[in-house]
Chain A
Amino acid sequence: IKKDHLVEYFRAQMMKDPDMASAVAAIRTLLEFLKRDKGETILGLRESLTWATDCLTGVDSSVAVSSGGELFLRFISLTSLEHQDLSRCKKVMEERGELFLEKISMSRTKVAKLCHTFIKDGAKILTHSYSRVVLRVMEKAAAEKKRFSVYVTESQPDSAGRQMAEALRKLNVPVTVVLDAAVGYVLEKVDLVIVGAEGVVESGGIINKIGTYQMALCSKAHNKPFYVVAESFKFVRLYPLNQQDVPDKFKYKADTLKTVQNLSEEHPMIDYTPPSLITLLFTDLGVLTPSAVSDELIKLYL
């Protein structure tokens, strides 16, 4: 199966359901790849799956795609030693792949269920950029007949915050769009801050759209709770010590990485928020403190 087909399929998946997380689309693509693969050995299979994941990160360089791919590989390859026959092995892998996919498509609902109780009646929420998980949480809270209002940052350079504001207006939630620079100004009016995450790292910190770190610092200074909502397939085996330590391949969009020579001229798309600034993480594995994330990661990956 050639690279172009793969990328085609991936893009098709993304377009088919814009509400689906990019990682889920990637995993679907990998599952399809697995079904069509004509490899003869387990090792060959693993190698081609790794190659496929790399292709997909070439299309969409977000952290979630690479973490989703790695988790998928791990999830299915735990069977590799049980069966002698390759085709039977593949069948089991495919079943497990389907199972995995089913589990993670439920994850957003689980997260929303856990988080909406933290939104009290009359609350004022601050959020950053466009996150589908946060949107789902607010949908659930609105469905529970809670009255709340939302401040969204504009989130340059792609103005994704406006998209979020549109979606919230459709839910009849009063929403205000603020400048990225106005976060400190607005925080005294706000009760809590909820953001999504592109990736959750081993230390319990998160990688998210640029501007999140600032928001976290300001909320710490104002003593406002800073909540993160993320599905478990976003847990990734990175351990950045500071902003510089985040690998370049995640910081910039995939097209930028391919075309631009001097990356220091480019503006990074993501930043890293250390765990000391985060109050709680809501995941489909439960409500976690940042130090518990490492525990969960050890369970997932080892």
Chain B
Amino acid sequence: MADSGETGGPVKKDGIQQAKTEGKELTKEEKQRLRKEKKQQKKSKEKKDEKASQESEKEKKPVSSASPASQPPTQPITPKAPSAVPTLVPVPASETPAPADKPAKSKAEMKAERRARQEAERASKQGKKGEVGQQAAPGKPKAPPSELQPVVKRLPEHVQVDNPEVLKKLAKKLERQQTPEYNAATKVKIPLRSDYGYKVSLFSHLHQYSRKAPLTQQLSIPSTVIHPAIVRLGLQYSQGIVAGSNARSVALLHAFKQVIRDYTTPPNEELSRDLVNKLKPYISFLNQCRPLSASMGNAIKYIKKEISNIPSQCKEEEAKSKLLNCIDRYIDEKINLAAKAIAKSSIEKISDGDVILVYGCSSLVNHILCEAFEKNRKFRVIVVDSRPRLEGREALRRLVQRGISCTYVLISAVSYILPEVSKVFLGAHALLANGYVMSRVGTSQIALVAKAFNVPVLVCCETYKFCERVQTDSFVSNELDDPDDLIVTRKGKTQLEHWQEVPSLGLLNLVYDVTPPDFVDLVITDLGMIPCTSVPVVLRVKNVDQ
């Protein structure tokens, strides 16, 4: 795929040539890098000379109305709208900076229009790139730096909320994302959700949404063609009805199954390319409802890979049933069977007479404790809970129903209760590549106090939650929940009711925090028991397997 109809444009950077000569097969990251460079070049070229309207494709883009209005975005934020560097034989090299025999109509409007046309085209030909694999909103820096050339690293836009230009770009991008143009009426417009309330300055780079203003209220019917299962899912996410890493991933996969069942390949399109395009606006929508978790990200990557691996001769029914099977198998293997394997390993670590401390409500930890109780281990549990979510109550309910003797404390009492504890079991939202554990806010506090008391801390996490990101603190990338959740009414008085009117007052409702590996003694995964520092080894082994 590396060497195809690229007729050398005059403005080919050396890097690209180098890449071609260096290897037949460019890696995906290198391809993305090349695409970005091409875009940069093109932009600079466009400033100078005109492009021939070689793009014979019809482009009555509604975007063209938007584009002359706003400042032309320099480069599209995501790697998702690449200049199709290699192949794309059908597209008559829309990328090649055409030689300068343009009609001299150097009006900004014409340029902007043409650019808009090209971008829309590129967006529609996404599928060929198969595993470009990232979600729309959180943009690039998942692509590791290429050895080819030093490229400016851009921050993902979901942590640049206080930068107005970035917001404008995001708005434009959401408008542009749409289903293929064969039916101009079925364009999907995903509204941009606006932030709510005063944000604490340390976290002003993150989104903060209000639960009272769900995104679905801004969707207008019938111009939106987001699948109803996805709309329902988005609402469930944003209202907190579906919460918890595993629950969200499973719900996402089920919704995607519904989408696939209802999908029909449009004429002159291939399932493997078109379906991936279809999924993109859904993913942006879900991301707007509630930022995607690491586990959901990995699940989406898997689905996209499976879809793009479908051979083109495959009949539609066959392809669809194959995809549905893949998804079922994924849920089965990575979630259900993994839970069984982890429970088996954990039971060895639970001895009679143990006092186990758990925090919040982790489906995996609850499962382990119930299994251990079934196997007649004698232990008791201390459930630690914290506001505003009070998830510990759910865990308490589940454990007491089974007959396990439990104690319930709030997190402020944890140093009081720790001398009694023999082990701490924690769940995880994601395990980062440098060994840090990302989990519900309060987890790192518990790990810290446990370490001070020399109590072993065990983290239970399935391997599908391992992610390649690296983070050393909880500030750089986190999620801000609705600040109104912190308001509580006691004895008829609501002190914080008018917090918005007090200019110097900010309410902060963090969702996640990050625990360093020194505080974690053992990580139990479906591959076995590993120390926290061995997470990159597992990631390496997994990549080799795939």
Do these two chains interact? yes
- Interfacial residues of chain B within 27-57, with CB under 8 A of chain A in the complex: none
Our pick among A244, A276, A295 for the contact of B534 (Cβ within 8 Å) is A295
Q: Is the CB of A298 within 8 A of B456?
A: no
- Interfacial residues of chain B within 514-531, with CB under 8 A of chain A in the complex: 518, 521-522, 529-531
Q: Is the CB of A291 within 8 A of B423?
A: no
Closest to B530 in A: A294
The residues of B that contact A302 with a CB separation of less than 8 Å are: 541
Q: Is the CB of B456 within 8 A of A204?
A: no
CA distance A202 to B524 in the complex (A): 12
Instruction: Tell me if A242 counts as interface (CB < 8 A to partner B).
Output: yes
Number of chain B residues close to chain A: CB under 8 A:
15
Q: Is the CB of A241 within 8 A of B534?
A: no
Closest to B457 in A: A241
The minimal Cβ–Cβ distance linking B421 to chain A, given in whole angstroms, is 13
Q: Is the CB of A294 within 8 A of B537?
A: yes
CA distance A256 to B531 in the complex (A): 33
Instruction: Tell me if A219 counts as interface (CB < 8 A to partner B).
Output: no
Our pick among A202, A242, A245 for the contact of B530 (Cβ within 8 Å) is A202
Instruction: Tell me if A196 counts as interface (CB < 8 A to partner B).
Output: no
Indicate whether A242 sits within 8 Å of B456 (C-beta atoms), given known contacts A203-B522, A295-B537: yes
Instruction: Tell me if A239 counts as interface (CB < 8 A to partner B).
Output: yes
Instruction: Tell me if A211 counts as interface (CB < 8 A to partner B).
Output: no
Instruction: Tell me if A199 counts as interface (CB < 8 A to partner B).
Output: no
Instruction: Tell me if B349 counts as interface (CB < 8 A to partner A).
Output: yes
Q: Is the CB of B541 within 8 A of A202?
A: no
**Contact flags B439-461 to A (C-beta < 8 A → 1, else 0):** 00000000000000000101000
Instruction: Tell me if A275 counts as interface (CB < 8 A to partner B).
Output: yes
Indicate whether A291 sits within 8 Å of B456 (C-beta atoms), given known contacts A203-B522, A241-B522, A298-B541: no
The minimal Cβ–Cβ distance linking A280 to chain B, given in whole angstroms, is 15
Q: Is the CB of B423 within 8 A of A241?
A: yes
CA distance A241 to B349 in the complex (A): 8
Instruction: Tell me if B363 counts as interface (CB < 8 A to partner A).
Output: no
Q: Is the CB of B541 within 8 A of A239?
A: no
The residues of A that contact B531 with a CB separation of less than 8 Å are: 202-204, 275, 291, 294
Q: Is the CB of B533 within 8 A of A291?
A: yes
The minimal Cβ–Cβ distance linking B288 to chain A, given in whole angstroms, is 40
The residues of A that contact B456 with a CB separation of less than 8 Å are: 241-242
Closest to A242 in B: B456
- Interfacial residues of chain A within 214-234, with CB under 8 A of chain B in the complex: none
- Interfacial residues of chain B within 139-167, with CB under 8 A of chain A in the complex: none
CA distance A242 to B457 in the complex (A): 11
**CB<8 Å pairs between A and B, sample of 23:** A202-B530, A203-B531, A204-B531, A239-B522, A239-B529, A241-B349, A241-B458, A241-B521, A242-B456, A245-B349, A275-B531, A276-B518, A291-B531, A291-B534, A294-B530, A294-B533, A294-B534, A295-B534, A295-B537, A298-B530, A298-B534, A298-B537, A302-B541
Q: A241-B521, A241-B522, A245-B349 are in contact. List 18 more A-B contacts (CB 8 A).
A: A202-B531, A203-B522, A203-B531, A239-B529, A241-B349, A275-B531, A276-B518, A291-B533, A291-B534, A294-B530, A294-B533, A294-B534, A294-B537, A295-B537, A298-B530, A298-B534, A298-B541, A302-B541
User: Sorted from nearest, which 10 A-B pairs have the closest CB atoms?
Assistant: A291-B533, A241-B456, A294-B534, A239-B529, A203-B531, A295-B537, A294-B531, A241-B521, A294-B530, A298-B537
